[in-house]
Amino acid sequence: MKHTIEVNGIKIYAFHGCLPEEEKIGGQYLVDVMLNTNFGEAAHADDLEKTIDYCVVNKIVEQEMAIRSKLIEHVGQRIVNRLKSEINGIHLVRLKLTKICPPINGDVQNVAIIIVEE
């Protein structure tokens, strides 16, 4: 069986970026996490221990986003690595990390990176 768990729209204020002002001022980010797993046993038994706890996913995202990086690619990869190493039963991870109103030359709503790993 293939099941999907999503934790979407994790709102974080963080200090990522290459510009000095990004380190001081910070900005808004959104993180979406999709995990392919098998939660059939949890669905049958109604047992949180047999599936992925959303709170653990959120905690990993918050902890990694709190560590400053120049590139959202870097912090995104750290999040994926921790999810894969700390949560059992993940068959595939898809992470989307969105930087809201990036300080670039132009009127841009957001930029984002997507990482998909088995």
47-102 pLDDT, tens digit per residue, is: 999 999 999 999 999 999 999 999 999 999 999 999 999 999 999 999 999 999 99
Range of the domain at 113: 3-117
pLDDT at 1 over 80: no
Q: CA-CA distance, 41 to 46, in Å (whole number)?
A: 8
Reported as a pLDDT band with limits 50, 70 and 90, residue 113 is very high
| Domain tally, the chain | 1
User: How confident is the model at residue 106, as a pLDDT?
Assistant: 84
- State phi, psi for 101 to the nearest 5 degrees: 45, 65
- pTM comes to 0.94
Residue 81's CB is within 10 A of a number of other CB atoms, namely 15
Task: From the candidates 24, 70, 96, 99, give the one annotated as an active-site residue.
Answer: 99
96 is catalytic: no
Q: What is the CA radius of gyration of the chain?
A: 16
Reported as a pLDDT band with limits 50, 70 and 90, residue 103 is confident
| CATH code, 110 | 3.30.1130.10
Q: Which residues contact 51 (CB under 8 A, 6 or more apart)?
A: 5, 37, 39, 41, 42, 43, 89
